[in-house]
C-alpha cells in the first residue's frame, strides 16, 4: 500500500518540465545585448578528433569582460525600478561578477559599489576601477567582503546584485542556451557541459534547454576540491562546505544558492568532478584549438566533457562545452604548463633507486632508451644507493606507463610512480638535491645540447664514464636546446684530461663551481 504522505510530497514538488517552463519566458525576455554579444559556437577540430566526438565550444571568453557574468548582472540591474536605479547597486566579488556589475552599471548610468577582499590582486581591482565603479576593500576573504556589502546595502539603500542566486541573474545566463540552440539545432545536440560555482549558469542553461529539448543532457562540472553542487545533490539540499580549493577561483563557492539548487535538482542530469591536472590539460586543449588561454574555471567544461566521454557518448549528436571565461592570472601560467601533460596522461613522474656505482646512471638512461625525458633530478646521497626523480613523455591511452615500470623493475631497480602524488608534484620535484656529505673534487657545470628524442642519453654517452656524475638536473622547457646542470667529480690529477674532454665534446658549457647559490644550497 502506498504512503499517502509521500504521495502528497511528490505532488507538491514541481516537475522538471514545470521548472523549465517557468524560466522559458524569463530567458526570452532577458535584456543582455546592451552589453553582451552573441558569442560564437565553434567546432574544436583537434579535440573532436582526439575524443571521437563532435565537440563545440561556446566562446563566452569573447565577451567584452572576457566572461559570461555580464549577462546576468545586466539583466538583474535592468529589471530594477527607477527608484532603485537612482540609489545605485552593490555587489561583493573579486572577479568576473565584479566586472559584469561595473560594466552594466556604467552602461545604464548608475552608481556601482564593488566590495572586494583586501587580498584582491591589483590587476583585478584596476579592471573594475577602469569601468567606473567605486571599490571598497574589506576583509581577508569573500565571506567578509560579502557581509560588509550587505551592511552597506542596508545603510545606503543600495540594491544588492547577487552573483548567482537570483531569478533575473539565472535568466540572463540562460541566454547562452538560447544562442546555442539558435546556432546548432537542438535535435543534433546530445549534451551541454557547464562549469558550476554557485549554480546560476547551469540553472539558466538547463532551464532553457530542457524546456525545448528534454533529451539534451545537462552535465555540470566542478573541481574535485570544490564539489559544491555535487554534494548538495547527493544530500538533497544545499550544503556549506568547510573549505574549497581556489585554483579554479571563478567557481570556488562554498554553497550553491537555494534557487539555483531547486532548478539544478530538477533539471541537471549529473555532475562530474575533475582534478587540477585535468583542468590544466583542458586549458591546453582549448589553446590548441583557439589560441586562447582560458582561466581555470573557463576550462572546467572541457575537462569534464573529456572525463564524461571516457564512459559515455552522444552518438552522432554534438557535445557542447561552455568556455565561460578567460580572465587568467598571468602568474598561474607556469603552474598550468607544468601540470597539463600530467592531466592529459602525456607525462609520468617516477622515483627510481639505482646503485651508487660508476656507470649506473648511464645504464639507467639506456634502460629508458629513446623515450623523451621531460625532467631528470639526481644528487649524490651516500655510497650505497642513488635516488632519481625522472619525468617521461608517454602516449595517452597506451600501455607506456605499465611497460616503463615493468622494464625498470625487471632490471632489478626499485621504482615508484609519483604521477598522482600531489606532494611530489607540488613540492618534491623542486626540492630534489641539497648538500651532499662526503663528496670530493666536485665541480659544477651548465651544459646545452640540441633538444630531440634520445638527446639526453647521447649527452651522457659523450660525457663518458671516466668521471663520476654526482649531481644532475634537467628540465625540458619546450625550447630547442636542453639545459643541464651537472656536478662532476674531477680529481686534481685528471683536471687537464677533463678540460680536453670538454673541449672535444663541443657542447656549449659554463663552469659554476664558484657560484654562491651552489655553495649555499648544493
3-state SS record for 333-355: HHHHHHHHHHHCCCEEEEEEEEE
Q: Tell me if 17-66+167-330 shares its fold with 69-160.
A: yes
The architecture that CATH gives domain 17-66+167-330 is 3-Layer(aba) Sandwich (3.40)
Taking Cα atoms as reference points, which of 35, 186, 180 lies closest to residue 107?
A: 35
450, pLDDT greater than 80 = no
CA distances from 100 to 26, 172, 301, 395 (A): 20, 12, 21, 41
Supply the DSSP symbol for 269: -
The bridge status of strand 509-511 relative to strand 468-475 is: unpaired
Active-site hit among 39, 58, 67, 69: 69
Q: What is the pLDDT of residue 455?
A: 67
6 vs 119, higher pLDDT: 119
Strands 318-323 and 89-92, bridge-based pairing: unpaired
Check residue 346 and give its pLDDT. 84
Instruction: Give the Cα separation of 114 and 94 in Å (integer).
Output: 9
Instruction: Please report how many Cα atoms fall inside a 13 Å half-sphere around the Cα of residue 306, on the Cβ side.
Output: 28
Local structure of residue 494 (DSSP, 8 states): G
Compute the C-alpha angle 160/164/167, nearest 5°.
85
Kindly state the percentage of the chain with pLDDT values over 90.
Answer: 54
CATH fold of 345-521 = 3.40.1020
d(CA 489, CA 441): 5
Q: Please choose, from the candidates 352, 170, 386, 323, the residue with its C-alpha nearest in 3D space to the C-alpha of residue 261.
A: 170
**CATH code, 69-160:** 3.40.50.1100
> What pTM was computed for the model?
0.80
Angle in degrees, CA 320, 321, 325, rounded to 5: 145
> What is the model's pLDDT at position 486?
85
The answer to whether residues 476 and 372 touch, using CB atoms and an 8 Å cutoff, is yes
Which residues are bridge partners to 352 per DSSP? Answer: 388, 415
Report the pLDDT value the prediction gives residue 493, as an integer from 0 to 100: 92
Q: From 301, 303, 292, select the one nearest 326 (Cα to Cα).
A: 292
Which pLDDT value is given to residue 101?
Answer: 96
Range from 66-70, 155-159, 230-234, 487-491 carrying the lowest mean pLDDT: 487-491
- Nearest-CA neighbor of 321 among 35, 41, 71? 41
- Distance, in Å, from the CA atom of 509 to the CA atom of 483, rounded to the nearest integer, reads 10
Q: Is 210 an annotated catalytic residue?
A: no
In angstroms, rounded to a whole number, what is the distance separating the alpha carbons of residues 403 and 199? 43
- When pLDDT is averaged across residues 461-489 and rounded to a whole number, the result is 76
pLDDT beyond 90 at 88: yes
Share of residues in the chain with pLDDT > 70 (%): 92
DSSP string, 451-490: -STTHHHHHHHHH-SSSEEEEEEEE--SSSEEEEEEEEE-
CB contact at 8 A, 441 and 495: no
Catalytic residue of the set 324, 419, 425, 470: 324
DSSP code, position 325:
B
From the list 357, 388, 386, the residue with the least C-alpha distance to 373 is 388
pLDDT value for 132? 93
Buried b (16+ CB within 10 A) or exposed e, 242-263: eebeebbbbbbbebbbebbbbb
Whether 4 has a pLDDT exceeding 70, the answer reads no
Instruction: Burial-class residue 164 by CB neighbours within 10 Å (0-12, 13-18, 19+).
Output: buried
Instruction: Considering only residues 327 and 218, tell me which one the structure prediction assigns the higher pLDDT.
Output: 218
> What is the rounded CA–CA span in Å between residue 406 and residue 408?
6
Q: State the Cα torsion 428-433-435-438 to the nearest 10°.
A: 120
Sign for the CA dihedral angle at 404, 407, 410, 415 comes to negative
Q: What is the pLDDT of residues 313-369, one digit of tens each?
A: 999 999 999 999 998 888 788 888 888 877 888 888 888 888 877 777 778 878 887
Residue 430 has pLDDT above 80, yes or no: no
The helix (H) or strand (E) run that includes residue 171 is: helix 167-183
Domain borders along the chain are 17-66+167-330, 69-160, 345-521
The answer to whether 122 and 47 have CB atoms below 8 angstroms apart is: no
Under 8 Å CB-to-CB from 253, ≥6 apart: which residues? 164, 197, 198, 226, 228, 244
Residue predicted with more confidence, 318 or 378: 318
The three three-digit cell numbers of residue 466, written as one number = 671516466
Asked about 67 being catalytic, the answer comes back as no
Pairing of the two strands 385-393 and 347-355? antiparallel
Amino acid at each position: 500500500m502506498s504512503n499517502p504522505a509521500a504521495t502528497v510530497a511528490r505532488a507538491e514538488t514541481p516537475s522538471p518540465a514545470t521548472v523549465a517552463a517557468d524560466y522559458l519566458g524569463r530567458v526570452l525576455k532577458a535584456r543582455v545585448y546592451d552589453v553582451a554579444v552573441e558569442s560564437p559556437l565553434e567546432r574544436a577540430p583537434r579535440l573532436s578528433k582526439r575524443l571521437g566526438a563532435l565537440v563545440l565550444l561556446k566562446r563566452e571568453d569573447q565577451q567584452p569582460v572576457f566572461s559570461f557574468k555580464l549577462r546576468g548582472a545586466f539583466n538583474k540591474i535592468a529589471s530594477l525600478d527607477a527608484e532603485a536605479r537612482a540609489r545605485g547597486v552593490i555587489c561583493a566579488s573579486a572577479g568576473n561578477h565584479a566586472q559584469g556589475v561595473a560594466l552594466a552599471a556604467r552602461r545604464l548610468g548608475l552608481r556601482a559599489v564593488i566590495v572586494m577582499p583586501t587580498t584582491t590582486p591589483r590587476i583585478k581591482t584596476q579592471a573594475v576601477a577602469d569601468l567606473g565603479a567605486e571599490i571598497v576593500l574589506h576583509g581577508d576573504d569573500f565571506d567578509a567582503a560579502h557581509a560588509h556589502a550587505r551592511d552597506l546595502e542596508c545603510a545606503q539603500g543600495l540594491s544588492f546584485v547577487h552573483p548567482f542566486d537570483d531569478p533575473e541573474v539565472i535568466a540572463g545566463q540562460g541566454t547562452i542556451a538560447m544562442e546555442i540552440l539558435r546556432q546548432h539545432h537542438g535535435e543534433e545536440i546530445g549534451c551541454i557541459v557547464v562549469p558550476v560555482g554557485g549554480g546560476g549558469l547551469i540553472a539558466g542553461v538547463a532551464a532553457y534547454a530542457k524546456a525545448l529539448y528534454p533529451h539534451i543532457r545537462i552535465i555540470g562540472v566542478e573541481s574535485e576540491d570544490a564539489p559544491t553542487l555535487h554534494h548538495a545533490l547527493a544530500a538533497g539540499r544545499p550544503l556549506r562546505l568547510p573549505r574549497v580549493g581556489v585554483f579554479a577561483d571563478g567557481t570556488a563557492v562554498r554553497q550553491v544558492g537555494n534557487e539555483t539548487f531547486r532548478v539544478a535538482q530538477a533539471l541537471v542530469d549529473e555532475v562530474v568532478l575533475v582534478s587540477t591536472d585535468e583542468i590544466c590539460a583542458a586549458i591546453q586543449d582549448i589553446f590548441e584549438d583557439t589560441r586562447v588561454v582560458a582561466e581555470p574555471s573557463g576550462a572546467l567544461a572541457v575537462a569534464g566533457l573529456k572525463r564524461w566521454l571516457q564512459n559515455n557518448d552522444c552518438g552522432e549528436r554534438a557535445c557542447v562545452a561552455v568556455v565561460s571565461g578567460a580572465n587568467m592570472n598571468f602568474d598561474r601560467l607556469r603552474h598550468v604548463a607544468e601540470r597539463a601533460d600530467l592531466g592529459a596522461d602525456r607525462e609520468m613522474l617516477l622515483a627510481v633507486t639505482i646503485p651508487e656505482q660508476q656507470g649506473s646512471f648511464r645504464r639507467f638512461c639506456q634502460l629508458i632508451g629513446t623515450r623523451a625525458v621531460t625532467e631528470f633530478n639526481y644528487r649524490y646521497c651516500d655510497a650505497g644507493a642513488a635516488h632519481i626523480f625522472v619525468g617521461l613523455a608517454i602516449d595517452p591511452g597506451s600501455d607506456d606507463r605499465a611497460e616503463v615500470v615493468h622494464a625498470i623493475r625487471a632490471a632489478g631497480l626499485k621504482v615508484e610512480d609519483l604521477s598522482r602524488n600531489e606532494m611530489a608534484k607540488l613540492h618534491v620535484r623542486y626540492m630534489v638535491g641539497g648538500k651532499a656529505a662526503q663528496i670530493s673534487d666536485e665541480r659544477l657545470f651548465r651544459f646545452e645540447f640540441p633538444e630531440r628524442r634520445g638527446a639526453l642519453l647521447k649527452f651522457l654517452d659523450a660525457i663518458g664514464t671516466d668521471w663520476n656524475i654526482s649531481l644532475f638536473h634537467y628540465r625540458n622547457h619546450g625550447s630547442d636546446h636542453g639545459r643541464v646542470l651537472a656536478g662532476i667529480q674531477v680529481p686534481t690529477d685528471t683536471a687537464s684530461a677533463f678540460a680536453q674532454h670538454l673541449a672535444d665534446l663541443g657542447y656549449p658549457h659554463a663552469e659554476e663551481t664558484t657560484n654562491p647559490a651552489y655553495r649555499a644550497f648544493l
